Structure 1
């Protein structure tokens, strides 16, 4: 049965990537898919005492559907409070390069607490509650580095280092020696202050039609996301690897404020499924140190994405230290 399930997952990943390659877009994950119980590649070994603290330093590079390339250096620290309760904090620094401008700054801070509810020889059940704190209001303006005339013009969300909103996050996972199943929800509690629109400020850009490929995001309030993760792990003495699928469904529409009326309006085509195929390889140098390589490829995404989270593919290299 296990071989049949694994074969089905592999066939599904391959079939969807071939069928939807032209539609491949990016991750609608605003960061909660790597928080607490929703994290990929979680350790499960009842024969080895689990380290109580860990710090992972990683570099992320994401290719968007337009010109921006998103780079993130991230510190992910986890600490155990008791045998079954732990906390996590993620501190990202982000820089973006693109046709409009180059931006950089602190990303949104993630905080979460995870409680292990069931702990036995066959599986663990964990639950997480947490949130995200914005590093700025999501309305960084052009510094004129690429086009002098654009200095002071609000940039699209693709160029923002923060989503500009306070978010609530919760989730749960079941982990065994071979499988990880997780689900979670993320709700934006506030709107940001982004003011990008197709205004006369961009009339001097060489290709006006390209500007219109960026969705308006005036005072954006993102819709609610629900995620699921299915992951098959293959673990050996010094290394491990995994494959999986990450579907994220936006169940409510994004909302933006209309400049003329000052009223919020729901944006059509912002709900629906974003599906990503994932794989990673980890080499354990010893019980304390490890190196991980991860890759994600977008299979399909929502048609309209004002939040600027779409990615064609992502690549991550990380160093982990447990103590």
Structure 2
């Protein structure tokens, strides 16, 4: 059993490093919608026998411009009855690179879940920013890559459906407000690496639509391996206002990002479990002005039911 599991893990982790060598794309864990409890593989099944669940997690991402990103979160899930459940999560983010370090609280997520049937579910929620995405360094605004939040208040909608063991999710994350970022690359010295970043003054970010397909594979009673395919489509080009006060589209920021994820769940006992998750992109977009660029994302989560 363990030998077979080890072979799967070695093969999967090997693919991770092959694909992360030169590719950069949207890191699933940052925009938010793909880490909502009910949108993750086995999400709504994880508290089916208990009314409450608590999670704590950490993540690491290798970002563009030689930036390392560390994230943390605390999450609470409550099953109100057989049909309704609610989730609440708070996140934080730390970025470091190019002699700049930044840390801050990111967002609060509040979601409600409704089971239509054993196979189908609906999710409605919001993302509430804990930052205006306009942190400064020496009196100058930092690019989005060093902001702990997108700074937008977002609507989250989703629909989940199971076909046998295959789990499908379709979701929308749509900003209802925009942030207060004032970053101009031109304001930094010629020798500064921040001159290479996309200016995002008065940044206007478009929404995302995703589809996730997951297929859990059980290895005995303790282990579960779940490969997942995650296409994310950014609905329109983002915009910013240049130094002359003219609003411009950021060409190449609209389009498809195709990620894959691999989840490994280990049940410590009937109340507690660990989950390890890695992800990487197959297909990328040309422009990532919101600072969510990742070549590789890994996370570890502990959860307890009570």
What is the TM-score when the length of structure 2 is the normalising length?
A: 0.88
Q: Say if 2:126 is the partner of 1:131.
A: yes
**Which residue of the partner structure matches residue 7 of structure 1?**
none
CA offsets per residue over residues 284-310 of structure 1, 9 Å max, x none? 011100011110112222111110001
Match of 1:251 among 216, 231, 235: 235
Question: What is the deviation of 1:41?
Answer: 3.3
**Which residue of the partner structure matches residue 23 of structure 2?**
23
Query: Do the aligned partners of 1:36 and 1:114 also contact (CA within 8 Å) in 2?
Result: no
**Which residue of the partner structure matches residue 63 of structure 1?**
62
Show the 5 A alignment for 1:90-101. Answer: 90-101=89-100
**Distance 1:130-1:41 versus aligned 2 partners, 3 A rule:** same
Q: Say if 2:76 is the partner of 1:89.
A: no
Distance 1:49 1:158 in 2: 38
Question: What is the deviation of 1:194?
Answer: 1.0
Question: What is the deviation of 1:96?
Answer: 1.1
Question: What is the deviation of 1:100?
Answer: 4.3
Give the secondary structure class of the aligned counterpart of 2:22: helix
Question: What is the deviation of 1:238?
Answer: 1.5
Distance 2:195 2:166 in 1: 43
More strand by share: 2
**Distance 1:22-1:93 versus aligned 2 partners, 3 A rule:** closer
Give the secondary structure class of the aligned counterpart of 1:253: coil
Query: Do the aligned partners of 1:71 and 1:94 also contact (CA within 8 Å) in 2?
Result: yes
Query: Do the aligned partners of 1:58 and 1:75 also contact (CA within 8 Å) in 2?
Result: yes
More deviation, 171-180/97-106: 171-180
Distance 1:17 1:250 in 2: 26
Give the secondary structure class of the aligned counterpart of 1:33: helix
Distance 1:78 1:49 in 2: 11
**Which residue of the partner structure matches residue 34 of structure 2?**
33
Gaps of 5+ in 2: 1-13
What is the TM-score when the length of structure 1 is the normalising length?
A: 0.84
Distance 1:185 1:43 in 2: 18
Q: Say if 2:286 is the partner of 1:308.
A: no
Question: What is the deviation of 1:49?
Answer: 5.3
Distance 2:222 2:20 in 1: 35
Show the 5 A alignment for 1:108-187. Answer: 108-119=107-118, 124-142=119-137, 151-175=138-162, 178-187=165-174
Distance 1:61 1:25 in 2: 15
Distance 1:315 1:58 in 2: 11
Distance 1:36 1:98 in 2: 30
Query: Do the aligned partners of 2:114 and 2:121 also contact (CA within 8 Å) in 1?
Result: yes
Distance 2:66 2:289 in 1: 15
Match of 2:226 among 235, 242, 261: 242
Match of 2:252 among 259, 269, 283: 269
Query: Do the aligned partners of 2:158 and 2:172 also contact (CA within 8 Å) in 1?
Result: yes
Distance 1:40 1:256 in 2: 35
**Distance 1:131-1:177 versus aligned 2 partners, 3 A rule:** same
Distance 2:24 2:48 in 1: 41
Gaps of 5+ in 1: 1-13, 143-150
**Which residue of the partner structure matches residue 196 of structure 1?**
183
Distance 1:15 1:282 in 2: 19
Question: What is the deviation of 1:266?
Answer: 2.2
Distance 1:111 1:258 in 2: 34
List 4+ stretches of structure 1 deviating above 4 A: 14-21
